[in-house]
Amino acid sequence: MKKLLLSLIAVSALAFTTQAQTEKGKFMLGGDVEFNSTKENGASKSDTKFNIVPSVGYFISDNFAIGTGVGFGFAKDQTATTATPNAAIKTQEFVVAPFARYYKGINESFKFFGQLSVPMAFGNNKVTTDGDNYTKVSKYNNVGVALSPGFAFFPSKKFGIEFSVQGISYNNDSVKDNNGTKIGGSDKSFNIGANFFAPKIGVQFYL
């Protein structure tokens, strides 16, 4: 009887540990941060790109969370020529990315997950020829849908390290000039597949 009681306690403790991070009523805090700097051969300055999108999710049931990310993106591309050595294009955008995520436990430390997200970006493009004075030339909207698989490793109950890949995605870009007239129509793209040699790595906190 004593051994049976101890066994039941051990199984209960394992089940609690496995589910503790992703049980109903918990919050998950994380986000994406990206920075790139590339310098073309012969260029005097580098192209730069920076994105930061913090996110928060809430588990409405065990292993199932909904939430959103809200952030900012910035990019600067050098377009210098001999005639305009300081020319550049600057892009700024506001990002919103609601999502739903479901976890499937393997053991107390590893869980697979699938995430459906709807990333949206609203921004503008500005140009300069002297490197200082920028003029707005267009604005754009980007709306997408993405289904991404991944897995999470939990070194503790409140901290997880994630590895995910891009699975299926669809994007619709629309660019307009300052008068609201579309430039070049809409650019739609659909992608399917996953590059397992270039995963996204992130962290989440579970509270």
The ranges assigned to domains in the chain are: 28-206
139 token code pair: 């604005």
Q: What angle is formed at CA 142 by the lines to CA 195 and CA 134, rounded to 5 degrees?
A: 110
pLDDT above 60 for 17: no
90 token code pair: 């600057």
The predicted model scores a pTM of 0.75
* DSSP conformation class of 16: H
- Which of 74-83, 96-105, 155-164, 181-190 has the highest average model confidence (pLDDT)? 96-105
Q: Residue 131 carries which side chain, given as an amino acid letter?
A: G
**According to the model, what pLDDT value does residue 188 have?**
84
Per-residue pLDDT band for 45 (boundaries 50, 70, 90) equals confident
Higher-confidence position of 107 and 122: 122
Range with the lowest mean pLDDT among 20-29, 79-88, 100-109, 125-134? 79-88
3-state secondary structure of 196: coil
- Distance (Å, whole) CA 90 – CA 77: 6
- Distance (Å, whole) CA 177 – CA 55: 31
**According to the model, what pLDDT value does residue 192 have?**
84
CATH class of 28-206: mainly beta
Radius of gyration, alpha carbons of the chain? 22
Largest CA-CA distance found in the chain, in angstroms, rounded = 89
3-state secondary structure of 15: helix
68 token code pair: 């959103």
